[in-house]
Structure 1
């Protein structure tokens, strides 16, 4: 017997307590007004000062999750971290998180770190689900952590940064059920975004290639998903098969284009006769090669407009955190889930099917779906999750606004001291959220110590 309804039983998010305003960053960078806010679809960008790193982000979100849901350390049998923010080539972030469990003599815990750009969180999640559905499962729960500090060198990619972490409790009888049966992946070898310089926090990015890879992976995953469902269940999949759709969000405008892209694939999967009957003006696009359309502005404009009502209903509610914090990398698509949960009435969420597309450059990608439980009364697990996320909007509004000048100085300081030892952070902790972990120092042997606000 498979464990019943394996999925997400609890979820917590953490983002730093400071941000930079994208309108001010536009002026500071000397670009045209609206380039970041309208062109990218971003409003604010969260970032880490020298008090926070990948270890502190993950320590914070795990401790907060366990406190908020009263999770006992002995209840966790697997702990896995997805991240691309590497500060040590050997020691995993998971091993750092074990200091939350060791005092309770809880060291029998499987899992380690998973790395491939923004995809690591999904790899960790699927591993956790597989563990619970395997013969190795011992009845305990799994804890999946996705966290990153996304920063770029000065230039066009810098406004697409962000920072934060998500922690998810995985187990049976979950209110957010990871659907069994069908999922589709696309994995390729591409240098669209990578981090070969271990002395720097900044990646090497080919922006145009990265967008092309993202859309190609989306096309491939969706077509493969549709084919698998057709072969297994003899039914067709379209965007109408989903009540909501979540995407990895490098920036919000790309998500809208991605939703339109799926509408375009649905169009291509429709017979030419049916297209002519419903949309005769679009028949000119029906025989075009998919690989020739990634930067076709005519097709993009047509299908963005055509799919806009569905986009506003199914995907726009999931972009709140992405718009306000930016691209967190591995947590990105799961902040979309959190945003959906807090922006839709619970009665509209109950019983719905949610499509998920996760992408990481280089590249790894997977499309799958989850089903939200029908139980939505005041004592239901779904209501508990939604109620427990009520802090998010308050914390977003409670953050401190930092000027672009000071933001730039913070990034320069971080880059300058990326591997400096010994190192003592200079930033104050007084504006950090209660319960946040912060870096105290890095000693001459690169050993890091942390404290908690």
Structure 2
């Protein structure tokens, strides 16, 4: 039985910051951001968007009534959780009007959470072939103003429907994974901003890719020539290329050219969104599928997932017949073209606007947010969400 990605959706907030403007404001050459790390725009979440609303909006564009009935498991991968007890998946389940006879959980392991959710979903579908699983990767990357990590911030969510007989990608059975306890990136419960050892994190990302790629070749007997493309978790787009270059010598010139060309296509969306943690790998996959028009059905796509702390995994998928008919290219083109640029000063004000932490009541102006699902405020220590479509 084939199991894999039947649908994939994406959502990013309606405002962004141009990285050239941020560079000028911070007194650095723009090329440091646009070429050095490979980022052009940073998606910014207004106070009316949080990980729950981002995920719900991403799922809203892909689900139909049959999906709402068939989905009996919602798995929410995030490292931007809003509650230490209640899962973000439960909020999304309600906002989308899903089948009440469902499981709903939240998974945390830095940027690896959505991948863990997909692997769990595969097991569920194997036991329950008529079911569907909604896997969500949603995050808001925050490092702080004028910090070394500021240029790699972002916000957004990817939603995936995992099912039997998938229409976009069959996920192959063999994968490899690796865990090691390191402190390259972390966010204590008392902080709303992440801490990162940038040099160590880059080193470990590369080391983990080397390890799982070696394991994968030994386990499967496959090599570079067997891949049409390899997608990477992208905290910034340049790091995936650095990892890819470490293995390119294993391929012929044709293979090298193909993988580099397809890698570039896989970064188009990430370049104009920024880091979305758990969703970054799947945003890269979506970019590849929607921006590379000549990807053939039956192509094998490799995927490297990395979550600091750290867990890494390499797994693969096969593109299905007519997979392009199940993508939403126009929706995403409209999403990106309709965004509004903000100034650095406006971005700084938005960044510093936060919800109360003392139980105070606050009402937010959701009329200024074009999203269908928004955070409308807080009362009695509860977040109040609104689905404008209901």
Q: Match for residue 384 of structure 1?
A: 325
SS across alignment from 2:304:
strand
1:104-157 CA-to-partner distances (Å, cap 9, x unmatched) read 7x32212411101110000001100111113xx262211111111111113110
> 1:238: Cα distance to partner?
2.5
Q: Match for residue 193 of structure 1?
A: 185
Report the aligned-residue RMSD: 2.1
1:305-343 CA-to-partner distances (Å, cap 9, x unmatched) read 998734432211111110010111111111111111111
- CA spacing shift, 1:418–1:359, aligned 2, 3 Å: farther
Greater C-alpha Rg: 1
Asked whether the 8 Å contact 2:129–2:163 carries over to 1, the reply is: no
Q: Match for residue 248 of structure 2?
A: 263
SS across alignment from 2:276:
coil
- Pick the aligned partner of 2:62 from 45, 48, 65: 65
Task: Tell me which moved more, 393-402 or 220-229.
Answer: 393-402
Asked whether the 8 Å contact 2:78–2:113 carries over to 1, the reply is: yes
> 1:446: Cα distance to partner?
1.4
> 1:427: Cα distance to partner?
5.6
Distance in 2 between the 1:83 and 1:368 partners? 20
Structure 1: give runs of 5+ residues left out of the alignment. Answer: 231-236, 268-277, 279-304, 377-381
Q: Match for residue 337 of structure 1?
A: 285
> 1:100: Cα distance to partner?
3.6
- CA spacing shift, 1:63–1:183, aligned 2, 3 Å: same
The answer on 1:452 being equivalent to 2:390 is no
Distance in 1 between the 2:123 and 2:18 partners? 41
- Pick the aligned partner of 1:80 from 75, 78, 102: 75
Asked whether the 8 Å contact 2:228–2:258 carries over to 1, the reply is: no
Q: Match for residue 54 of structure 1?
A: 51
Asked whether the 8 Å contact 2:228–2:259 carries over to 1, the reply is: no
Q: Match for residue 349 of structure 1?
A: 296
Q: Match for residue 282 of structure 1?
A: none
Q: Match for residue 158 of structure 1?
A: 150
> 1:64: Cα distance to partner?
2.5
- CA spacing shift, 1:260–1:9, aligned 2, 3 Å: same
> 1:430: Cα distance to partner?
2.7
- CA spacing shift, 1:188–1:222, aligned 2, 3 Å: same
* TM-score normalised according to structure 1 size: 0.81
Distance in 2 between the 1:101 and 1:397 partners? 26
Asked whether the 8 Å contact 2:365–2:376 carries over to 1, the reply is: no
**Aligned pairs for 1:135-214 within 5 A:** 137=128, 139-154=130-145, 155-196=147-188, 198-214=189-205
The answer on 1:239 being equivalent to 2:232 is no
SS across alignment from 1:112:
strand
SS across alignment from 1:145:
strand
Q: Match for residue 357 of structure 2?
A: 419
Distance in 2 between the 1:320 and 1:344 partners? 10
> 1:262: Cα distance to partner?
2.3
Structure 2: give runs of 5+ residues left out of the alignment. Answer: none
Q: Match for residue 112 of structure 1?
A: 105
> 1:20: Cα distance to partner?
0.3
SS across alignment from 1:133:
helix
> 1:226: Cα distance to partner?
0.5
- CA spacing shift, 1:60–1:101, aligned 2, 3 Å: closer
* TM-score normalised according to structure 2 size: 0.93
Distance in 1 between the 2:173 and 2:70 partners? 27
> 1:423: Cα distance to partner?
4.4
Distance in 1 between the 2:283 and 2:66 partners? 21
Distance in 2 between the 1:182 and 1:54 partners? 31
1:5-30 CA-to-partner distances (Å, cap 9, x unmatched) read 21111111000000000000000111
Distance in 1 between the 2:366 and 2:95 partners? 24
> 1:62: Cα distance to partner?
2.3
- Pick the aligned partner of 1:400 from 340, 359, 374: 340
SS across alignment from 1:331:
helix
Distance in 2 between the 1:110 and 1:21 partners? 40
The answer on 1:133 being equivalent to 2:126 is yes
